[in-house]
Amino acid sequence: MIDHLSIQVRDLAASASFYEAVLAPLGYRRLVERPGTVGFGKRYPEIWLNHRPGAAPAPADTGHHVCLRASSTEAVQAFHAAALAQGGSDDGAPGPRQAAMTGYYAAFVKDLDGNRLEAATFPPAEG
């Protein structure tokens, strides 16, 4: 199990506002603020934003992303809508997807620094 992750951001205040809005539909909230870092989580900080003003934006073809579990398709949709409203970019609209082992519902966005985020839920199979 992964305990937490850290994401580098160039503008900590703007990114903290972005993540606060985007993570709220998934049940995360801002828990810790320190010089140079902000932590979000449900009970303890699981996602840290670390201020790196000189960092380059994430490359468009980075090949990595962070996937966060959503409780419902509505939460996935709210995550995606919040990201776009906060200046993020669409990288895969909300909708059904097929993984190697099961179907799921997800959306992909890029944050203000180009980091790719996914929200996914696994609704019960119909039938």
For the cut 70, the answer to whether the pLDDT of residue 102 exceeds it is yes
User: How much is the pLDDT for 60?
Assistant: 84
Q: Would 75 be classed as within a structural domain?
A: yes
Query: What's the domain range around 9?
Result: 5-121
**φ/ψ (deg, to 5) at 18:** -60, -55
What burial letters (b/e) apply to 38-47, b meaning 16+ CB within 10 Å?
bbbbeeebbb
Segment 70-94 shows an average pLDDT of 97
Q: Where does the pLDDT of residue 59 fall: very low under 50, low under 70, confident under 90, or very high at 90 and above?
A: confident
The residue ranking higher by pLDDT, 51 or 1, is 51
Placement of tokens 């049940």 in the chain: 27
Q: Would 126 be classed as within a structural domain?
A: no
Residue 25 near residue 69 (C-beta atoms within 8 A)? no
The residue ranking higher by pLDDT, 124 or 105, is 105
User: How much is the pLDDT for 19?
Assistant: 98
Q: Would 55 be classed as within a structural domain?
A: yes
Give the integer Cα–Cα distance in Å for 64 and 38.
22
How many structural domains are present in the chain?
Answer: 1
Residue 48 near residue 6 (C-beta atoms within 8 A)? yes
For the cut 90, the answer to whether the pLDDT of residue 83 exceeds it is yes
Q: Would 93 be classed as within a structural domain?
A: yes
The residue ranking higher by pLDDT, 63 or 94, is 94
Q: Where does the pLDDT of residue 112 fall: very low under 50, low under 70, confident under 90, or very high at 90 and above?
A: very high
Listed residue (53, 54, 73, 62) closest to 120, CA to CA: 73
Q: Would 127 be classed as within a structural domain?
A: no
Residue 38 near residue 48 (C-beta atoms within 8 A)? yes
Token output for 77: 């949709």
**Percent of the chain topping pLDDT 90:** 83
User: How much is the pLDDT for 127?
Assistant: 52
Q: Would 25 be classed as within a structural domain?
A: yes
CATH of the domain at 26: 3.10.180.10
| Dihedral class, residue 83 (left if φ above 0, else alpha if ψ from -120 to 50, else beta) | alpha
